[in-house]
Structure 1
Amino acid sequence: MSGWQRFGAWSRRNLPTRESMERNRLLRPVAHRVLAPELWRFTRRSVPRGVALGMIAGILVPVAQTAVAALFALPFRANVPTAALTTFITNPLTTPPIWVAAYWIGRWLLRLDAHVPGQPVADAAAHTGWIPWLMQAGPATALGLIVIAVVSAVAGYALSAFGWRVWIGRKWRHRHAKHG
């Protein structure tokens, strides 16, 4: 079995169903909206939107990512199953590297390692250990997560839109070769 076939089988096993969304207590107040048929159709516009929203929810939301992605799908008319499935981009294997990368990106963007003259309080605090590091790590990591989420969402949208076009093109070529 190839990698894509394994991924397809894993996706089918883990893809949320309308019934599982209906049973989700976090979604119960808006279940009638989340379960709207147009949000469950796989179209060339709704799937890339779902991928982008799933990336954002998966990276920025620490808990209930699937429910949040489903709620995000409502105003953007994105595909709910795709948004929910894409949140699995973060899991116990991928989250630590994402957070470390987020810290380094945020640190670089905030220029936290640059020395600013005339800051005696900051210079004195720099020698106290973990407290200054934690004070710098929070904002740096938050900024890095936002950057990673936005870049991942844009890349996910573009790749899924391109993948959709390739898939439809192959279907059309196969259909024309079969009947023509």
Structure 2
Amino acid sequence: MAKKTIQRFLPDHNKVRHHKSLKIFGRLLHDANLWHLNRRSARGAFAVGLFFAFIPVPFQMVLAAALAIPLRVNLPISVATVWITNPLTMPPIFYCSYLVGTVALGHPAQHFQFEASWQWFLDSLTTIGPAFLVGSVICATLAAISGYFVVDLVWRHSVRKAWLNRHK
């Protein structure tokens, strides 16, 4: 069942609650709904996490937690899902976001060479920045919507399958 599979990978809620970057939320983390795992909380948490995974900002985990709290979706899932973009997956994901942005804005894709410098970053804000940001928002929205419905379908399928197995 999907719930048991997801629960195997979730960290202990006390460990997440006492994580140094999440302490800014204080007593808000004591809401039991943030730790409960059901279809509604899982699909919403995946949507929140996937959205912030595609947004190129620092502290994506904190932003995912900040949105998970008022939406009352599963906090560990929303924070963990952000790690879809990690140092290995970030370059291809963000390059695809840039390409989506160029198509959305109707601009031709520019060839660029990445440099790890502040000056390159400032220069790229005017050249590739708009397409990259627009593409990131489009990809984030599509990923969140897709994740929401895929988790919902997988959850419903696993419940239906478990129900049929019990009747056999």
Corresponding position: 1:88 with 2:79 = no
Which residue of the partner structure matches residue 37 of structure 1?
A: 32
Which residue of the partner structure matches residue 143 of structure 1?
A: 134
Q: More deviation in 48-57 or 76-85? A: 76-85
- Give the TM-score taking structure 2 as reference length: 0.80
Partners of 1:112 and 1:136 within 8 A in 2 = no
Segments of structure 1 that go 5 or more residues without pairing to the other structure are: 1-7, 115-129
Match of 1:144, SS?
Answer: helix
Which residue of the partner structure matches residue 110 of structure 1?
A: 105
- Give the TM-score taking structure 1 as reference length: 0.75
Shift of the alpha carbon at 1:58?
1.5
Alignment of 1:117-128 (within 5 A): none
Partners of 1:44 and 1:161 within 8 A in 2 = yes
Aligned residues: 152
Shift of the alpha carbon at 1:19?
1.8
Segments of structure 2 that go 5 or more residues without pairing to the other structure are: 110-119
Partners of 1:40 and 1:80 within 8 A in 2 = yes
* Bigger relative contact order, structure 1 or 2 (CA pairs below 8 A, ≥6 apart): 2
Shift of the alpha carbon at 1:96?
0.6
Shift of the alpha carbon at 1:90?
0.7
Report which of the two structures shows the higher radius of gyration computed on alpha carbons.
1
- The percentage of aligned residue pairs carrying the same residue is 31
Partners of 1:18 and 1:35 within 8 A in 2 = no
Partners of 2:54 and 2:94 within 8 A in 1 = no
Partners of 1:46 and 1:78 within 8 A in 2 = yes
